[in-house]
Amino acid sequence: MSIAVLALQLALALVFVASAAAKVLRSDEFVAALRLSHLPEPIAVLTAVAVPALEIGLAFWLVLAPPDRVPSAFVAAGALLIAFTVWMGWVEARRLRVRCGCFGAGGGEVGPRTIARNLGLLVLALTGWGVASRVASPLSGLSVELLATMVAVALCVALLQALRMAWPHMVIDYESFQRRGATALEGE
């Protein structure tokens, strides 16, 4: 069962790191989603800064917490996921067409699918809380090695997110490359 706790810790931590990285890298999309959901401007700006910070903090807490504090980390993760789900439900109830901004451009439009995804993550957090309340995590809590590993993983996830977002602009379209070459030759 301790392996189940570890798997849930790592899964939710990776989701939170990926989500925070996407929100930071595409902050304009996340702020637009908040504004389009009719949140007051000061709350939208505060939320755009606070949510990625909370997600990163929760990811680190889930992995670096001493075994007796892991259930609390799962409860905090569940609370944040409940807040996300309530916001999505509020947007869906008003029939607003808002992109989630959850994972950058890939987050999808707020609707039954994104709400179901959030509810699934909430189930993982609640399951983690239930299992971690009975069985200790195999992770020993804060250590220099574990902290360095978490920082390295977070940076790798952020770099992968940045590459995924930049990829369409990096790929060379062979036909347009040929046209530019032909145009350059004609100009000589």
Note the pLDDT of residue 182: 65
At 28-67, the pLDDT tens digits run 888 888 888 888 889 988 998 999 999 999 999 999 899 8
pLDDT at 12 over 90: yes
Q: What is the pLDDT of residues 61-110, one digit of tens each?
A: 999 899 899 999 999 999 999 999 999 998 899 888 887 767 755 567 88
pLDDT exceeds 80 at position 169? no
Q: Directed axis angle between helix 27-36 and helix 2-25, to 10°?
A: 90
3-state secondary structure 172-188: CCHHHHHHHHHHHHHHC
| pTM recorded for the entire structure | 0.77
For residue 114, pLDDT beyond 60: yes
Exposure of 125 by Cβ count < 10 A (0-12 exposed, 13-18 middle, 19+ buried)? buried
pLDDT band at 24 (very low <50, low <70, confident <90, very high): confident
pLDDT band at 185 (very low <50, low <70, confident <90, very high): low
Which candidate, 51, 47, 48, 16, places its Cα nearest to that of 29? Answer: 48
What residue segments make up the domains of the chain, in order of their start? 2-187
